[in-house]
Amino acid sequence: MASYKDKYTAMVIFAKAKHPDSVETPNTINPDGTPTPFNPPQPNTPDIPDSVADNGEQSNFALLKRAVVGLGLYGAVKSVANYYKNNYGDIMQDSNAQAEINEAFNIIQMGASIGMGFAVGGVWGGVASIVAQGVNVGLQTASYQRMMSRNATQSEVAMVRTQYASINGGR
């Protein structure tokens, strides 16, 4: 057994080495191979920063903390942006601009969906995504046409009740 001790480090080595004369001698930490204990003027272990000394737990915690703060900030900015995007017409009193914003975002969303179809499913995934978007646009168009027809009928009924002229003709 060999031991080494200074004011910073203490080591005990239990490994044994066979001496050429078949005498078992303790294995020392002396770099030149002599059996005398190595006694350096300063400790042979470097100063280890605290973040490494605790196996990186401190640095991992700090990284996790920054990630959580970043995600919270991202969520807050996204919420504010969505609020202004969705309420631009009410805030600025411009319903036409709001309709244009909504349509632009719908087109961007459709393009992103088609792009994801190609990215994830290759050519067949992209074709399937294009077909799905086409069906979606067709259903929206049919709903819009029904709504316009219903609104025209309601307007016609209201005009007849109030004895105004028809939408399709004058007096």
pLDDT bracket for residue 61 (50, 70, 90): confident
Quote the mean pLDDT of the chain.
77
Domain extent at residue 32? 1-46
Cβ atoms 29, 37 nearer than 8 A? yes
Task: Decide if 147 is inside a domain.
Answer: no
Q: Which residue has the higher pLDDT, 12 or 61?
A: 61
Q: What is the mean pLDDT of residues 37-41?
A: 57
What the block records as the tokens of 61 is 């915690």
| Cα–Cα distance, 95 to 101 (Å, whole number) | 10
What pLDDT does residue 142 have? 96
Task: Decide if 60 is inside a domain.
Answer: no
Task: Decide if 156 is inside a domain.
Answer: no
Asked whether residue 24 carries a pLDDT value surpassing 60, the answer given is no
Asked whether residue 146 carries a pLDDT value surpassing 70, the answer given is yes
Alpha helices in 26-56 (DSSP H): 50-53
Task: Decide if 99 is inside a domain.
Answer: no
Cβ atoms 114, 133 nearer than 8 A? yes
Task: Decide if 100 is inside a domain.
Answer: no
pLDDT bracket for residue 65 (50, 70, 90): confident
Question: Quick check: pTM over 0.85?
Answer: no
Q: Which region among 41-55, 131-145, 156-170 has the lowest average model confidence (pLDDT)?
A: 41-55
What the block records as the tokens of 127 is 């074709």
Task: Decide if 9 is inside a domain.
Answer: yes
Domain tally, the chain: 1
Asked whether residue 9 carries a pLDDT value surpassing 90, the answer given is no
